[in-house]
Chains A and B, each alone.
Chain A
Amino acid sequence: MMNVLLAVEVAILWKAMLILFIIGILAAVVLYFIAKKFHVEEDPRIDEICALLPGANCGGCGYAGCRNLAETAVKRGTMEGCTCPGNTKENNAKIAQILGVDAGETVPKVAVVRCQGSCTNSPAKVSYDAAESCFFANSLFAGEGLCPNGCLGCGDCVHACNFHAIHIDPETKLPVVDETKCVGCGVCAKSCPRGVIEVRPKGLKDRRVYVACNNKEKGAVAMKNCKAACIGCGKCVKACPFEAITVENNLAYIDPAKCKMCRKCVAECPKNAIVAVNFPAPVAPKPAPAPKPEAPKAETDKPAAAEPKPEAPAAPEKTENTQPE
Chain B
Amino acid sequence: MSENRIKELAGELAVEISKEIKNEVKHLGKKTFNMGGVHPEANKFAHSKSVETFDLPDQAVVYMTQHLGAPAKPVVQVGDKVKVGQLVGEANGFVSANIHAPISGTVTKIDAIADITGYKKPAVVIKREGDEWDESIDTSEEIVREIKLGKEEIIARMKDRGIVGLGGACFPTHIKYMLKPEQKCEYLIINAAECEPYISTDNRVVLERTEQCIIGIEIALIASGADQAVIGIEDNKPNAIAKLTEAVHGHPKIRVQPLRIKYPQGAEKQLIKAITGRSVPNGALPISVGCIVNNITTMYVLYQAVQKNKPIIQAYTTVSGKSLPLEKCKNFRIRLGTPIRDIMNAVGIPEDTGKIIAGGPMMGKAVANMDACAGKGMSSLLFLSEKEAKRGPVSNCLRCGKCVEGCPMGLEPYLLHALSDLQRYEDCEKNGIMNCIECGSCQYICPSNRPILDYIRVGKNKTGAMIRARAAQNK
Determine whether B120 belongs to the interface, using a CB cutoff of 8 Å to chain A. Answer: yes
Interchain CB contact under 8 A, A139 and B457? yes
Chain A 127-146, CB-CB to B under 8 Å as 1, else 0, gives: 00111010110011111001
A139 to B119: give the CA distance in the assembly, Å: 10
A140 to B368: give the CA distance in the assembly, Å: 9
Interchain CB contact under 8 A, A142 and B114? yes
Determine whether A29 belongs to the interface, using a CB cutoff of 8 Å to chain B. Answer: no
Interchain CB contact under 8 A, A136 and B454? yes
Q: A141-B117, A142-B119, A146-B114 known; A136 and B368 CB under 8 Å?
A: no
A121 to B207: give the CA distance in the assembly, Å: 52
Chain A residues with CB under 8 Å of B451's CB are: 130-131
Chain B interface secondary structure, helix, strand, loop or mixed?
Answer: mixed
A144 to chain B, nearest CB (A): 9
Contact of A146 among B368, B457, B461, B462 (CB under 8 A): B368
Contact of B118 among A133, A136, A143 (CB under 8 A): A143
Interface residues on B, range: 10 to 19
Q: A129-B390, A148-B118 known; A142 and B368 CB under 8 Å?
A: yes
Chain A residues with CB under 8 Å of B120's CB are: 148, 217
B428 to chain A, nearest CB (A): 14
Interchain CB contact under 8 A, A141 and B366? yes
Interchain CB contact under 8 A, A141 and B458? no
Interchain CB contact under 8 A, A133 and B458? yes
Chain A residues with CB under 8 Å of B454's CB are: 130-131, 133, 136
Interchain CB contact under 8 A, B366 and A140? yes
Chain B residues with CB under 8 Å of A136's CB are: 454-455, 457-458
A130 to B456: give the CA distance in the assembly, Å: 13
A217 to B118: give the CA distance in the assembly, Å: 12
Chain B residues with CB under 8 Å of A217's CB are: 120
Determine whether B44 belongs to the interface, using a CB cutoff of 8 Å to chain A. Answer: no
Residues of B334-383 contacting chain A, CB below 8 A: 365-366, 368-369
A45 to chain B, nearest CB (A): 32
Determine whether B470 belongs to the interface, using a CB cutoff of 8 Å to chain A. Answer: no
B382 to chain A, nearest CB (A): 15
Residues of B188-226 contacting chain A, CB below 8 A: none
Residue of A nearest to B417 (CB): A131
Interface residues of B (CB under 8 A from A): 114, 117-120, 365-366, 368-369, 389-391, 451, 454-455, 457-458, 461-462
Interface residues of A (CB under 8 A from B): 125-126, 129-131, 133, 135-136, 139-143, 146, 148, 217
**Cβ contacts A to B, 6 pairs, < 8 Å:** A129-B389, A131-B455, A140-B117, A142-B117, A146-B368, A217-B120
- Given A126-B369, A139-B457, 5 more contacts at CB 8 Å? A126-B366, A129-B391, A140-B368, A142-B118, A142-B369
